[in-house]
Copies of this chain bind each other. A is one copy, B any other.
Amino acid sequence: MNNMFMDVLIEKIKTCNNPTVAGLDPKIEFVPSFIIQDNYRKYGETLKGASEAILEFNTTIIDNIYDIVPAVKPQLAYYESFGVEGMKTFKKTVEYAHSKGLIVIADGKRNDIGSTSEAYSNAFIGETRIGIESFVPAFDADALTVNPYLGIDGIKPFIDDCEKHSKGIFVLVKTSNPSSGQLQDLVLDVGMKVYERVADLVVEWGENLIGSYGYSSVGAVVGATWPSQAAALRQRMPNAFFLVPGYGAQGGTSKDIAVNFNEDGLGAIVNASRSLMCAYKSTIWKDQFSEFDFGKACRAEAIRMRDDINSAIGG
């Protein structure tokens, strides 16, 4: 058996002493204007120009945080919104993050029927068949977020690639958005809620991929905005590693987040996107850093976030 993805992630978290992941969700308005202007001058005010600006933004952010955070989480929607050029920037961002030793969690919430999920899995965490015996990775991330609505058929191809290529997935269980309860909190006839049933399925789906720290490479997405539900899920899914979005800009505090961790100090990785990418514009940092120093502002915020979360877990 190869190394398990979740073991690799945990070791990197331990090395950095930092259970956080930097979300790379680049809206064009997050990018400092001097980068935009420079790239629009070179490439035009086009999808290409915007995508080049975002690549420069991302690589500078990575340069400033790769020794502090264990992982980055590019959100595919933002890259897709810039078309083919945006996907080129996605690919180059993955490659650049890898060159700096970062783990890459592609956030795509992908899902479909089995044969189609296999193609998604090939795209992001596996390899695509080109010839009779030739297979090529396409985007080559280390993990992918996936949606459970279609049941095990749509999840199995991802699990197979997790096993074969030492990759990971995080399955949506309880999401951070205000309307997450519209489906996820519906109460079943057996008493539990839909997301609790999904949690039980995720435990089942991950049971053959539990690594040496006791966590499966089939993880769960559990939003920081629902701390009491997260605390119950922590008990319900002891071997599931949680990817926790919603810290910072979405309103989750470090105290809200502490419930996602186990007594071993492990069990979760907390994402922040806007608060890191836009640190240079934030009330905390804007007096100290100009837009030209957005990378340093991001670093300062990454350190503040690390310490904030570590103190909440430690306490």
Interface on A for B, CB 8 Å cutoff?
Answer: 25, 27-29, 40, 45-47, 49-50, 75, 77-78, 80-84, 86-88, 91, 109-114, 116-117, 119-120, 122-124, 128-131, 134, 136, 138-139, 147-154, 172, 175-184, 186-189, 191, 194, 197-198, 201, 245, 250
Contacts and interface: CB of A to CB of B under 8 A. Distances in A.
B201 A182 contact: yes
Given A109-B147, A151-B177, 13 more contacts: A27-B119, A27-B129, A47-B128, A77-B110, A78-B116, A81-B138, A109-B110, A147-B149, A151-B180, A151-B182, A151-B184, A154-B179, A189-B191
Given A120-B81, A122-B81, A123-B81, A138 B86 contact: yes
Given A151-B180, A181-B151, A120 B77 contact: yes
So how many copies of this chain end up in the complex? Answer: 2
A25 B153 contact: no
Contacts of A138: 47, 80-83, 86
Nearest to A192: B186
A34 to B, nearest CB: 15
A117 B77 contact: yes
Contact of A75 (B116, B139, B152, B245): B116
A83 B94 CA distance: 12
11 contacts: A25-B119, A40-B131, A46-B130, A78-B119, A81-B128, A84-B88, A109-B147, A150-B175, A150-B180, A183-B198, A187-B189
A128 B37 CA distance: 17
A229 to B, nearest CB: 15
A22 to B, nearest CB: 16
A50 B130 contact: yes
Contacts of A113: 175-177, 245, 250
Contacts of A87: 83-84, 87
Contacts of A182: 151-152, 201
A80 B147 contact: no
A93 B186 CA distance: 40
Contact of A130 (B47, B112, B181): B47
A84 B91 contact: yes
Contact of A183 (B45, B139, B151, B180): B151
A203 to B, nearest CB: 14
A197 B82 CA distance: 34
Contact of A114 (B25, B82, B91, B177): B177
Nearest to A88: B84
Contact of A111 (B78, B147, B181): B147
B77 A116 contact: yes
Contacts of A147: 109, 111, 147, 149
A37 B78 CA distance: 35
Contacts of A184: 149-151
Contacts of A188: 186-189
- For the complex of A and B, 9 pairs with smallest distance between CB atoms: A151-B182, A151-B179, A83-B138, A77-B119, A113-B177, A80-B123, A153-B179, A81-B123, A81-B122
